Structure 1
Amino acid sequence: MLVATAAAVAALLAGCSTTPTPVASPTPPPRTAAPSGHYFSLEGEHQTQEMVLFALGLLDTGYRFGGRNPDAGLDCSGMVAYIVENISGRRLPHNAAQIADRTRPIEVDELRPGDLVFFNTLKRRHSHMGIYIGDGRFVHAPNSRGRVRVERLANRYFAQRIDGARTLLTSN
């Protein structure tokens, strides 16, 4: 199922070009349960895969500070909260730092599609966020250039500012 989802995401990102041949990726190590059980969680890995597809469907949506609705515009935490609510029916706060507080920390090298990445862009932790989609890329709603878009974690700007990764799954 994960390989099929990865192939679908690759096809979406490729646009009208030919679809690449899916390559089996190594199985990531299992995740451990959250230490205190107080973290927000989705019901399963299928919902994190849905998050990736939903995020890709929001590409080119306009930016709006405080925006939580794609018709009016989205900001980074509004985009994540909007997606999670539409997939799970559960609400997250509309604040990147508060979302970080309610999700389980993981190592950046443990990121899987549907996990969250956080950045220090305003000289404070967790001031910006996005949804990891795999292959070192994430979807976010930046205020610069004003549209939801895909970026690489290795992008010089973001690589210098990453300050955490979190998951909405309590265990795997």
Structure 2
Amino acid sequence: MLTKEFLQYVPIERNTASVGDIFVNKALEQLGKPVIRHDMDDRGMDPDKGLDCSGLVSLVLDQIGYPRNEMRHCREFFDFLGNPNLILPGFQEKGDLVFFSWNGNLPQHVGIMISKRAYVHALLKTGEVSVSALKFREIVPGLKTISPQKYSENPIGFKRLFMLPETEE
């Protein structure tokens, strides 16, 4: 259920209203919170005990009242949002979800874009929710570091969250 407080920040037009600033601001409130490895349960959704990447997204969506069903893993977010919400590189905006993959195929990490080039995510490497920059570097085939090149610098896609107006009965 969308709250009036949330709706005042988001212009509602059928299939075009993005979550935008309030989504990003709530995500940025989690900066510095501890991070844990994802283990397929809800442990990664507690900002005091530790967030994983999809737990961060789930927590923020819950805080703003965005319906997410039982999605808990970045692959579920990627699949749930579907192709109509797929945003091509260069057209990403603040509030879009950004997805990464070790193998360049299935999503294994998700973050929230805070600008066209920066995103907030649960970064296991630093142990805390952090901001990182997209680099869009060319992937050099044959290097032993091809997976990290794809994962840390080159997203596999962006998805935009849309709000639909409540229908009156």
Same fold per TM (> 0.5)?
yes
Question: Residues 60, 129 of structure 1: CA spacing in aligned structure 2 closer, same or farther, 3 A cutoff?
Answer: same
> What's the counterpart of residue 21 of structure 2?
49
Closer/same/farther in 2, CA of residues 60 and 105 from structure 1, 3 Å limit: same
Establish whether residue 82 from structure 1 lines up as the match of residue 59 from structure 2.
yes
1:99 match: secondary structure: helix
Identical positions, percent? 29
Query: Is 1:126 aligned with 2:126?
Result: no
Change (3 A) 1:141 1:155: farther
Matches within 5 A, 1:16-31: none
Aligned to 1:28: none
Q: In the TM superposition, what is the alpha-carbon distance from 1:89 to its structure 2 partner?
A: 4.9
Distance 2:74 2:64 in 1: 19
2:32 to 57, 60, 82: 60
Alpha-carbon shift at residue 71 of structure 1 (Å): 1.4
- Structure 2 residue matching 1:162: 3-state secondary structure: coil
Matched-pair contact (CA < 8 Å) for 2:95–2:113: yes
Asked whether 1:168 is paired with 2:156, we answer: no
| Structure with larger Rg | 2
Deviation at 1:122, TM superposition (A): 5.9
Task: Sort the Cα spacing of 1:165 and 1:48 in 2 relative to 1 into closer, same or farther, 3 A.
Answer: same
Deviation at 1:33, TM superposition (A): 5.2
| Count of aligned residue pairs for this structure pair | 129
Q: CA deviation at 1:117?
A: 0.3
Unaligned runs of 5+ in 2: 1-13, 39-43, 138-148, 165-169
Structure 1 residues 135 and 123, CA gap change in structure 2 (3 angstroms): closer
SS across alignment from 2:37: coil
Q: Which runs of 5+ in 1 are unaligned?
A: 1-31, 35-43
Find 2:117's aligned residue among 113, 127, 136.
136
Q: List 4+ stretches of structure 1 deviating above 4 A.
A: none
Structure 1, residues 10-65: CA drift from partner, whole Å, max 9, x if none? xxxxxxxxxxxxxxxxxxxxxx959xxxxxxxxx43x3211110111110110012
| Alignment-mate amino acid for residue 60 of structure 1 | G
Give the letter for the 2:47 counterpart: P
Which residue of the partner structure matches residue 3 of structure 1? none
Secondary structure at 1:148's aligned position in 2? strand
TM-score when scaled to structure 2?
Answer: 0.68
